[in-house]
């Protein structure tokens, strides 16, 4: 049997050969027919209805749970410039605390996260071409239910929409030994996406965090996470990434143009080592060489504490674009006009890792700097997050020569298109002057105090996945 490392290498070699095919001139001209006349207000993606029998907490009427949900990440189709891929996350859910602890309601508990392929017509209409369900190595469909604690779970209890626990056998009462809570160690909450030239794809998620490689049929063929005892792994991330904050895991995933190195970015400050540090501006980027397993790690400084990094896309081997956003609605969303946030932040930045400090390669000859097997780089026994909290700034990090990636603003989506959504999570580099931006509609569901309802942008508009096309300087610098 071929080893995971050899399987990865074979995939990469095939991808590299295929990458050389095609013409940049042809691709550029082929995109013009939808770029030039694309509506400034964006175009909604198509959806189907997952369920329509739940009662809206606000209206008392039934509402639609939509599929939808194709907004967690996007990626260009390597074979067709008028097509893009997008993924869903774990499925519709709502924060809830019940008799079995805090967790989530899953109104569609058997939902399988999936990859969608979409096409834009010359008139700007978007159609769903195909769907690929994510599957275990044995070919069975995964779910979006949480992992067990040893493999990335954070104790989230899965509940049905009525507040009852999701069990291994729902027809029988709960028993911790014979009929426990239903978890899925292959379950994913996908948030990052890379599609390779051979049709296989990588997904990063908010549970482990896991980086999972799927073949073109959606079957898992490789995995990377921070759990050294997980025998499914091809390579292992630094152990500190297991301290990710619940629901704020590896939100963005990118791959270098040669398809040899993955980069993942964490959504927010990790709980490293506890929740006490989570409301900071220090976030982490990790890279993994897919041929050798070599790991590097960098810091990204957010504009505001506890913001969300929601996408990562490579322009070159050292330059990337990413989304940094808050969680507010420009016009108030489900909270109505009183919830309007005129200074809502939905930014795309260009970053460069060239001059940033690689935390994995830093010189620890100074006694104050140590590398801990569980917590990573420490300064006088503090994690970098603890040090920033103690200082109230990055001064101690700077004093030890630890600098983050550089960044510059590419586009402010609120200023550009009056972006009305809370979540901005997908980027598509259409060409060096044009950027596609996609939101996550959360399957058109929302919750208030654990009760499900329709997710509204305003009193008349249900939120949906919407593609925007905006001008942007995405040229590559040398």
pLDDT digits (tens, 9 = 90+) for 190-230: 999 999 999 999 999 999 999 999 999 999 999 999 999 99
CA dihedral sign, ordered 301, 302, 307, 310:
negative
CA–CA dist 443, 92 (Å, integer) = 6
Peptide bond before residue 273 is cis, with ω within 30 degrees of 0: yes
Q: Looking at per-residue confidence, does 30 or 173 come out higher?
A: 173
Check whether 30 has a pLDDT greater than 90: no
Q: Which helix (H) or strand (E) holds 24?
A: helix 24-35
Confidence of residue 13 (pLDDT cuts 50, 70, 90): very low
Mean pLDDT of 379-407: 98
**Band of the pLDDT at 10, cuts 50, 70, 90?**
very low
100 Cβ neighbours under 8 A, 6+ residues apart: 157, 159, 165, 174, 181
Q: Is the pLDDT confidence value at 27 over 90? A: no
- The alpha carbon of residue 441 and the mean position of all alpha carbons in its chain are separated, in whole angstroms, by 14
If one compares 331 and 19, the residue with the highest pLDDT of the two is 331
Residues whose CB falls within 8 Å of the CB of residue 449, separated by 6 or more in sequence, listed in order = none
Residue 155's pLDDT band (cuts 50, 70, 90): confident
Quick one: three-class SS letters along 50-90?
EEEEEECCCCCCEEEEEECCCCCEEEECCCCCCEEEEECCC
Q: Do 411 and 444 touch, CB atoms closer than 8 A?
A: no
Tokens representing 243 are 């301290």
What the block records as the tokens of 299 is: 């810091």
Q: With 90 as the cut, is the pLDDT of residue 19 above it? A: no
List the structure tokens of 319. Answer: 């330059």
Tell me if 77 sits within 8 A of 117, measured CB to CB: yes
Please state the pTM of the whole predicted model. 0.92
Helix or strand holding residue 11 (H, E) = helix 4-19
Whether the pLDDT of residue 184 is over 50: the answer is yes
Distance of alpha carbon 289 from alpha carbon 296, whole angstroms: 9
**Cis bond upstream, residue 68 (ω within 30):** yes
């Amino acid at each position: 049997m071929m080893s995971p490392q050899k399987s990865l290498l074979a995939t990469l070699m095939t991808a590299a050969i295929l990458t050389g095919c095609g013409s940049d001139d042809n691709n550029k001209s082929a995109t013009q027919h939808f770029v030039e006349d694309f509506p400034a207000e964006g175009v909604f993606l198509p959806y189907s209805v997952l369920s329509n029998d739940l009662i809206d907490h606000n209206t008392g009427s039934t509402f639609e749970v939509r599929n939808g949900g194709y907004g967690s990440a996007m990626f260009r189709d390597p074979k067709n410039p008028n097509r893009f891929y997008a993924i869903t996350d774990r499925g519709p859910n709502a924060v809830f605390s019940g008799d079995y602890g805090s967790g989530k309601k899953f109104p569609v508990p058997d939902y399988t996260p999936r990859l969608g392929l979409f096409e834009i017509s010359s008139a700007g209409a978007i159609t769903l071409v195909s769907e690929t369900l994510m599957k275990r190595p044995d070919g069975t469909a995964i779910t979006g239910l949480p992992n067990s604690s040893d493999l990335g779970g954070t104790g989230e209890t899965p509940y049905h929409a009525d507040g009852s626990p999701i069990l291994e056998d729902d027809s029988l009462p709960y028993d911790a030994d014979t009929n426990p809570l239903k978890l899925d160690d292959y379950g994913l909450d996908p948030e990052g996406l890379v599609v390779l030239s051979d049709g296989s794809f990588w997904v990063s998620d908010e549970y482990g965090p896991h980086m999972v490689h799927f073949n073109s049929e959606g079957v898992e063929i490789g995995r990377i996470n921070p759990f050294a005892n997980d025998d499914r792994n091809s390579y292992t991330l630094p152990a500190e990434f297991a301290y990710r904050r619940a629901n704020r895991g590896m939100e963005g995933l990118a791959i270098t143009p040669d398809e040899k190195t993955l980069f993942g970015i964490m959504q927010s400050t990790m709980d490293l080592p506890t929740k006490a540090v989570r409301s900071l501006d220090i976030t982490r980027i990790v890279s993994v060489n897919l041929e050798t397993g070599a790991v590097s790690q960098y810091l990204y400084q957010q504009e505001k504490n506890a913001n969300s990094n929601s996408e990562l896309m490579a322009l070159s081997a050292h330059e990337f674009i990413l989304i940094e956003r808050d969680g507010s609605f420009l016009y108030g969303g489900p909270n109505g006009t009183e919830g309007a946030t005129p200074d809502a932040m939905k930014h795309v930045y260009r970053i460069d890792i060239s001059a940033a400090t690689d935390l994995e390669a830093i010189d620890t000859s100074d006694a104050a700097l140590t590398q801990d097997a569980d917590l990573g780089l420490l300064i006088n026994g503090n994690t970098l997050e603890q040090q920033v909290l103690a200082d109230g700034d990055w001064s101690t990090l700077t004093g030890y020569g630890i600098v983050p990636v550089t960044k510059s603003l590419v586009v402010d989506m609120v200023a550009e298109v009056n972006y009305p959504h809370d979540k901005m999570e997908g980027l598509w580099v259409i060409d060096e002057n044009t950027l596609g931006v996609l939101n996550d509609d959360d399957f058109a569901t929302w919750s208030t105090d654990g009760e499900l309802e329709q997710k509204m942008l305003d009193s008349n508009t249900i939120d949906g996945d919407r593609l925007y096309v905006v001008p942007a300087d995405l040229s590559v610098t040398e």
